[in-house]
């Protein structure tokens, strides 16, 4: 057995037939009014005087009252005044004669009547007045109901918003705490990761004393140079990690091979040595966060002219991070004596980089390295050390002076040492580089 759902308090009231109360001491007036409104959808109540009218109002739900002005005992003005006091929602209409105009004014003021109707009335007029009065009463009631519903909903919404704000604040605080814990865990994990990488980078340096600190120096210089080249933060980090681990593939080599400079190795020893970039890549590929660095390690011994190893890549086909590593790794190795058969000075190492721009190294990377090393005074350091700065045509400026003869790759002279560049010549050099699809390097005097 199911029970009926209770009516919603906010629902509109069910329509019912309006109740009219006619009050007059003349029976023929009451009969005429009852006949006039019979069959029009109204329920009609009759009262012979004001006292009986008040009694009916106390026991019935009345929508509209029409009262005569002149009645014995309680007149219409007094009657309607009491109706207003006790049942203000009931529409009040006064029937009055032309001679009662002063009394009518008093009734209007005291009883706040809706309208007054003069006797004798016009049937159509009085019907229209009653219909309009009830329509306005319904509109007022509906408006009040909707206002009450709106107020109730606004209060509920305010309460809901307050509850929602409290929940959001609570969730936000919980999320903030979770994020703080996650950040702490991430920081600890990152610290542990870098500690592990540093530990790996030290393994090869333990094999030979003169390599002590090499990987850390390469990593530090590579990070600075990568930023100078405008690389993104994640790419800079990959370059730094590759710098720390670039020699990890040498762990399997013998002490005898590790102690020799590269240009003194036998053919068999050199064959073993050139495999170490691939070995290093393979050792790190299983670590997801080191895959990018592993690729750079594989290619950090490629040469810009294509004569490097292991894949013989040339020019811009070599990853930029690997081109950065090649410069800083050789710069440190030259000073250690592991690249040639004797250690050389830092100035000579920089000169070596400049002389081998576009051969071993990307000329743009060499130039940025030399400029960054000079601390913004590249002209002074270049003049003191006899270093020329390598430029690609796109980076040249009018007024620059050639520090060396500019030769075509086929060997003939393009521009002589001391030539002062202008915008037209720079444009011609850029077109030549594009048309021949070959990197053109111009050495400029400080």
| CATH code: domain of residue 115 | 3.40.50.2300
Residue 40 within a domain: yes
Contacts of 404 (CB under 8 A, 6+ apart): 388, 417, 443
Which three-class secondary structure state does DSSP give residue 333? helix
Q: What is the pLDDT of residue 409?
A: 82
Torsion of CA 190, 194, 195, 200, to 10 degrees: 140
User: Which one-letter DSSP state was computed for residue 45?
Assistant: E
The token pair that represents 343 in the structure block: 């250690």
Q: Which long-range contacts (CB under 8 A, 24 or more apart) does 283-291 make?
A: 283/248, 283/249, 284/245, 284/248, 289/193, 290/197, 290/241, 290/245
Return the DSSP state at 316: G
pLDDT value for 129? 93
**Residue 204's pLDDT is what?**
63
Residues 397 and 400: their CA atoms lie apart, in Å, by 6
Looking at residue 380, what is its pLDDT? Answer: 62
Say how far apart CA 22 and CA 62 lie, in whole Å: 11
Gap between the Cα atoms of 346 and 92, Å rounded: 111
Rounded Cα–Cα distance for residues 228 and 369 (Å)? 8
Q: Return the pLDDT at 109.
A: 64
**Residue at 144 is within a domain:** no
* 191 Cβ contact partners less than 8 Å away, ≥ 6 residues apart: none
d(CA 276, CA 444): 36
| Residues in the chain where the model's pLDDT stays below 50 | 1-9, 189
Q: For residue 115, what are the domain limits?
A: 19-121
Residues paired with residue 21 on neighbouring β-strands, in sequence order? 45, 65
CA distance 365 to 362: 5
CB 284 within 8 A of CB 291: yes
Peptide linkage before 96 cis (omega within 30 of 0): no
Token code pair at residue 291: 């895959």
Tell me 446's DSSP state.
Answer: -
The tens digit of pLDDT for each residue in 127-179 reads 999 999 999 999 988 888 899 888 888 888 888 888 888 888 888 887 787 77
Residue 242 lies in a domain: no
- Determine, yes or no, domain membership for 309: no
- The total number of structural domains in the chain stands at 1
CA-based radius of gyration for the chain: 51
SS3 state of residue 390: strand
The answer to whether position 356 is within a domain reads no
Query: What are the strands of the beta sheet with 91-96, ordered from one edge?
Result: 43-47, 19-23, 64-68, 91-96, 115-118
Q: 10 Å Cβ neighbour count for 414?
A: 17
In a domain, 131, yes or no: no
CA–CA separation, 296 and 274 (whole Å): 15
Could you give the CA distance from residue 158 to residue 109 in angstroms, rounded to a whole number? 42
Q: Which pLDDT score is estimated for 356? A: 92
């Amino acid at each position: 057995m199911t029970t009926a759902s209770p009516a919603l308090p906010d629902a509109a009231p069910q329509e019912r037939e309006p109740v009219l109360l006619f009050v007059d001491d003349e029976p023929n007036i009451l009969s005429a009014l009852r006949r006039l409104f019979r069959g029009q959808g109204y329920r009609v109540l009759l009262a012979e005087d004001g006292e009986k009218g008040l009694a009916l109002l106390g026991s019935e739900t009345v929508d509209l009252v029409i009262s005569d002005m002149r009645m014995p005992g309680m007149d219409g003005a007094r009657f309607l005044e009491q109706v207003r006091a006790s049942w203000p929602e009931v529409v009040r209409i006064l029937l009055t004669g032309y001679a009662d105009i002063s009394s009518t004014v008093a009734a209007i003021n005291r009883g706040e009547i809706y309208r007054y109707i003069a006797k004798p009335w016009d049937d159509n007029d009085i019907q229209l007045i009653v219909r309009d009065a009830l329509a306005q009463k319904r509109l007022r009631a509906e408006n009040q109901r909707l206002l009450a519903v709106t107020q109730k909903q606004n209060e509920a919404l305010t309460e809901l918003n307050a509850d929602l704000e409290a929940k959001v604040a609570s969730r936000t605080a919980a999320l903030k705490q979770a994020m703080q814990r996650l950040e702490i865990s991430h920081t600890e994990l990152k610290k542990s990761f870098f500690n592990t990488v540093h530990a790996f980078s030290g393994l090869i340096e333990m094999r030979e004393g003169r390599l002590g600190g090499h990987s850390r120096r390469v990593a530090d210089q590579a990070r600075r140079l990568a930023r100078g080249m405008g690389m993104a933060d994640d790419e800079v980090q990959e370059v730094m990690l590759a710098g720390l681990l670039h020699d990890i593939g040498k762990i399997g080599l013998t002490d005898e091979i590790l102690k020799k400079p590269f240009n003194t190795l036998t053919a068999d020893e050199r064959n073993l040595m050139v495999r170490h970039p691939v070995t290093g890549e393979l050792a790190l590929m299983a670590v997801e966060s080191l895959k990018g660095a592993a690729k750079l390690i594989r290619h950090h011994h490629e040469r810009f002219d294509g004569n490097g190893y292991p894949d013989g890549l040339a020019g811009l086909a070599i990853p930029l991070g690997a081109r950065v590593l090649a410069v800083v790794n050789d710069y440190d190795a030259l000073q250690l004596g592991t690249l040639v058969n004797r250690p050389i000075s830092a100035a000579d190492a920089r000169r070596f980089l400049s002389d081998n721009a576009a051969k071993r190294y990307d000329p743009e990377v060499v130039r940025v390295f030399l400029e960054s090393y000079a601390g913004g005074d590249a002209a002074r350091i270049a003049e003191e050390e006899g270093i020329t700065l390598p430029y690609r045509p796109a980076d040249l400026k009018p007024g620059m002076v050639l520090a060396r003869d500019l030769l075509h790759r086929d060997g003939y002279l393009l521009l002589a040492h001391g030539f002062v560049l202008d915008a037209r010549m720079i444009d011609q050099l850029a077109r030549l580089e594009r048309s021949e699809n070959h990197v053109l390097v111009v050495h400029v005097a400080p």
